[in-house]
Structure 1
Amino acid sequence: MFEDDLPELSTADLLESAADCRALANRADARLLEVALEYADRYHPTAHPDRAHRLARRSGDGRERAVVLGGDGCPEILEFAVAEFGVILGISPQVASGYLGHALALRHRFPFTWARLLAGDATPWKARRIVDDCAKLSAEAAAYVDRRVAPLIDSITPYRLEKIVKAAKMHAGPDLARAEAAEKACERGVFVGQSNEHGTRTMYIKAAAGAVIRNKATLDAIADALQVFGDTRGVQARRAEAVGIIADPRFTQELLDQARSQGLATPASHNPAPDSGCSGDVASDLASAGEARDRGCLNDSAGRSASAGPVGPATPSGSRWGDDDLLDDAVDSSDEPCPDEDGEPLNAAAQRALRAQLARIKHDAYTNPSLDNPSTGAGSGRARVRPGQTEIYVHLTDHTLATGTGVLRAEGLGPMLAHQLTELVGHGPYTVKPIIDLNDAVSVDAYEIPDRIRERVKLTHPVELFPYGTQETRRAMDLDHLRPYDPLGPPGQTATSNLAPLGRFAHRVKTHAPGWAVRRIDHLTLEWTTPHGVRFHVDPTGTHRIRPDD
């Protein structure tokens, strides 16, 4: 199938080989969509009357339902069939559901695009993006988009294709377009993204203009205060530092008060006021320049799209049409803001001095009696208020703990260098909880799961134990009794050895889906068997398919 003598090929032949590989991959992708359609047809409710009469009749019922994947005009499919299709492909149930929906939408809502795909004239991943973008359209509107874009899929760039799809959607469904525009205009929220390998995380805030302006003014005031205490970094770095400080109101107030007492006359100097010695026009220009700099940073990265949502990245997501999934990792689509143009980085000694200064100020914030009763300037005898507490689970070796060097893992953040833990914890106060020995078996007699057992299960299994599950174990996640709880059974049934974290869909599959079976192999491993007898072992290292000869 593939040449083994690539070094012997001429450059022209090597390029042709690359084109052949891509064409072969496209044919395989098209074939997989055909397989998905055949599978979906076999799990239409009419094909399984024995399961159809047991379908859930009301919302909230854990039993199987008949669902429509792909949008208006697509046939129904039995919901739990998605699970086995996903695990065989090595993808989560959510991704499998989307894939089956794309296949059904191509056949039933985009017949012209589907025909070109089968003929090899349309790249499958582009066709799937089109149907995904049009998922909310009616069947008639989707057919209009199909006629407009089908001949163009592989003849123009993805960027141009995206614009044409957007225009066709507006023509086909003007009411939906207006509703989506109104929804975006009213969309507000605070969206937190994933941590990167450098220990930083993004936050995207979409709120009322006045609230954003006031928040920015406070961040700028804290940034100026940091400069007073020796922080020589640029304003963007100091604003980022301010995000951690503003979370503690008393610390913020004390920092600003001490900065003012050391000569900070005005709270912020980034946007000079008209009476600051400049003429009105010049001051206005300077203020506009400050805002333009902020807009420039956003436009270079986060501003590639005007949309964001709780299930997307923290910064507004860029175009999904830049390239196919195979090349996504190679495309330069960094969401990093532009670097500071002013300021100097802090050396190690300056960093230590600044940290010590900030720790002292924070200590003052909670020992200064005047803050207990600002109106009298004297303490009222009330207990000192502490900032909100945050639990951080850190996994590290004894060597890292002893030396302060190496790599550790913070839950929800990922791997970090040991020295970054100081930045993560902040300036205190903090409490170090005793290490939990996860080898100890803990149980109770009641069906309800106490927090101490829930915490141990979470630490043992940080991700749900369904094959290729993606949900991180959290406090609200279902902890399933692998051996069903029997009120008349022996004591200790609710035990760390009999509980497994499962997302809601996985829990429903385990409880209600016909043909699925699960058993515990050891204290870390579950064995799942699908309705067609395929076995998977799920443990902290991931999901592993067990072949019959293993």
Structure 2
Amino acid sequence: MTTATALEDMGEAELLAHAEAVARAQRQAEVETIRIAVQHAVLNSVGRLDPDGAARPGREQARRFGGAGTPKVLEFAPAVLGARLGVSTGAAHALMADALDIAHRLPRLWGRVEALEVKASYARYVARRTRDLGAAQAAHVDARVHVAADGRIPWARFEALVEGAIAASDPEAAAEREREAATKQLAQPTRSTEHGMRGFYVRAPLHVIARLDAIVSHLARILLELGDTDTNDERRVKAVLLLTDPRRACELLRRYAEWRDRPDDPAAPDDGDRGSEPETPRSGDRPEVDWDALMPTVTLFLHLYAQAVGDQGEQVARIEGHGPVTTTWLRHTLGPHARFTIRPVLDLEGQAPVDAYEIPERHRQAVHLMTPADTFPWGSSTSRTQQIDHTVPYSRGAARAGAGQSRVGNYGPMTTFHHRVKTHAGWDVRQPFPGIYLWRDPVGATYLVDNTGTRRIAQAA
């Protein structure tokens, strides 16, 4: 293994040769990872499925991860592979789907990937983009793009090449996809946040976006003419806010038109005009926007991190679904437009247990505060709508010794899929302390999940 000291001893030519060797090793590792994913699918083929067991509610089923022509795979297989690779179940599912498509539907690309001539990421992109195509159409795309997939053209051009090949593989299907895409319109906030900011994504036909852009530009220009000194981008955001209240937006447009079109102030009359009637002077106040009236009522769940006694410095808070922000941002940006309700911190240790399968709302709140993320190894969901699993399964009619089964310390939030994996796929979990979960996969590997994330626990030789 090359150490930092050894790197410092290298000359430029030697260092660059080492960099090339590392890049080659990375490609070899990527190829081996794809092979592992394909073989894991083979080991978890439909032949291992118990037909009688599969007929029961919640049990494992066989699914087609890849496109047409790829074999079906047992649906719980990505959970154990993802845990071993240190990635989420979803990421492992995507890897297996891509690997199956590459191996079964894109042989030319796969050959170049195995020869280390094409990066695995390029082949996986083509696999994702062609997944909904038939096998023959995928083969057409494979033939069209495998030569250029070695990086000889910039990524944007490669994307365009793939898109063109997909359309050319079946023009009628391309037209049908266009018609279908027209029905998949959306307008929703983005998931990503940055420094208290968030985006809003609109997917709509071209003419709708053109009209939206035109009205936003028009309102931003009106604000400029009314004396707004903000940048054009900031005024466009204000224009979007105006559009959230159509009545006020229409009123502003009307008043602006009246103000803009009023007669010019007449010039002072000279001696020859003393007997003439003066023109009607401009009248009316310049329109103003009541921004506070435009702000809707929004409920935000805000968590303020603990602060040392006597520390009066900046603090950081976390807004659920938005990310971390400073208290300065809260006061200066959110504060003028929002009302805050301060709730006391829940006493997590004082949550009285109950002997009922139904989980009390106070317990759900406590669990979300203590364990906001999916407790399955490398789980990524932080939704408040996750299922709350009993770590030790609830037993109806349990003896008195089992009373209080529903309690903090026997809960773990999980997605529905991971809940099914835990119940039916041979995984075992223990919660020795509230919020600390020890998982063992069906092959014996052990994982620790807590508030800091997931770690693989090395087993004694």
TM-score scaled to structure 1, two decimals?
0.69
Aligned-pair distance for 1:98? 0.8
Unpaired runs of 5+ residues, structure 1, are: 278-356, 366-385
Partner of 1:479: 388
Residues 1:458 and 2:377 aligned together: no
Partner of 1:494: 406
Partner of 1:334: none
Deviates more, 1:535-544 or 1:237-246: 237-246
Aligned-pair distance for 1:89? 0.3
Q: Deviations over 1:271-327 (max 9, x none)?
A: x89x999xxxxxxxxxxxxxxxxxxxxxxxxxxxxxxxxxxxxxxxxxxxxxxxxxx
Residues 1:541 and 2:452 aligned together: yes
Count residues in correspondence.
430
Partner of 2:234: 237
Partner of 1:523: 434
Residues 1:397 and 2:306 aligned together: yes
Aligned-pair distance for 1:436? 2.0
Equivalent in 164, 167, 186 of residue 164 of structure 2:
167
Structure 1 pair 211–106 and aligned structure 2 pair: CA distance change class (3 A): closer
Alignment partners' CA distance in 2, 1:2 and 1:245: 59
Structure 1 pair 507–155 and aligned structure 2 pair: CA distance change class (3 A): closer
* SS at structure 1 position matched to 2:150: coil
Alignment partners' CA distance in 2, 1:207 and 1:106: 32
Q: Deviations over 1:345-378 (max 9, x none)?
A: xxxxxxxxxxxx979x65xx9xxxxxxxxxxxxx
- Mapping for residues 183-262 of structure 1, pairs under 5 Å: 183-207=180-204, 213=211, 217=215, 232-241=229-238, 253=248
Structure 1 pair 153–55 and aligned structure 2 pair: CA distance change class (3 A): same
* Percentage identity across paired residues of the two chains: 31
Partner of 2:418: 506
Equivalent in 342, 363, 368 of residue 432 of structure 1:
342
Q: Deviations over 1:413-458 (max 9, x none)?
A: 2221211113235423332222223232233343222332222211
Alignment partners' CA distance in 2, 1:516 and 1:131: 31
Aligned-pair distance for 1:404? 6.5
Q: Deviations over 1:125-152 (max 9, x none)?
A: 1111111111111111111222222233
Partner of 1:66: 62
Structure 1 pair 215–437 and aligned structure 2 pair: CA distance change class (3 A): farther
Alignment partners' CA distance in 2, 1:512 and 1:36: 22
Partner of 1:299: none
Aligned-pair distance for 1:400? 9.6
Q: In 1, are the aligned partners of 2:307 and 2:315 still within 8 Å (CA)? A: no
* SS at structure 1 position matched to 2:93: helix
Residues 1:266 and 2:256 aligned together: yes
Partner of 2:319: 410
Aligned-pair distance for 1:41? 0.9
Q: In 1, are the aligned partners of 2:302 and 2:317 still within 8 Å (CA)? A: no
Give, as a single letter, the amino acid of the residue that structure 1 aligns with 2:409. Answer: S
Give, as a single letter, the amino acid of the residue that structure 2 aligns with 1:67. Answer: R
Q: Deviations over 1:194-213 (max 9, x none)?
A: 34432111112245757985
Alignment partners' CA distance in 2, 1:219 and 1:160: 31
* SS at structure 1 position matched to 2:325: strand
TM-score scaled to structure 2, two decimals?
0.82
Q: In 2, are the aligned partners of 1:221 and 1:267 still within 8 Å (CA)? A: no
Aligned-pair distance for 1:510? 0.8
Aligned-pair distance for 1:526? 0.8
Structure 1 pair 221–191 and aligned structure 2 pair: CA distance change class (3 A): same
Alignment partners' CA distance in 2, 1:239 and 1:200: 15
Give, as a single letter, the amino acid of the residue that structure 2 aligns with 1:9. Answer: M
Partner of 1:176: 173
- Mapping for residues 315-464 of structure 1, pairs under 5 Å: 362=293, 388-399=297-308, 403=312, 405-422=314-331, 423-464=333-374
Structure 1 pair 500–245 and aligned structure 2 pair: CA distance change class (3 A): farther
Q: In 2, are the aligned partners of 1:68 and 1:76 still within 8 Å (CA)? A: yes
Equivalent in 72, 95, 98 of residue 99 of structure 1:
95
Alignment partners' CA distance in 2, 1:114 and 1:268: 67
Q: In 2, are the aligned partners of 1:458 and 1:473 still within 8 Å (CA)? A: no
Structure 1 pair 13–268 and aligned structure 2 pair: CA distance change class (3 A): farther
Give, as a single letter, the amino acid of the residue that structure 2 aligns with 1:415. Answer: P
Q: In 2, are the aligned partners of 1:443 and 1:495 still within 8 Å (CA)? A: yes
- Mapping for residues 39-50 of structure 1, pairs under 5 Å: 39-46=40-47, 48=48
Partner of 2:53: 54
* SS at structure 1 position matched to 2:317: strand
Q: In 2, are the aligned partners of 1:404 and 1:418 still within 8 Å (CA)? A: no
CA RMSD of aligned residues (A): 3.6
- Mapping for residues 124-139 of structure 1, pairs under 5 Å: 124-139=120-135
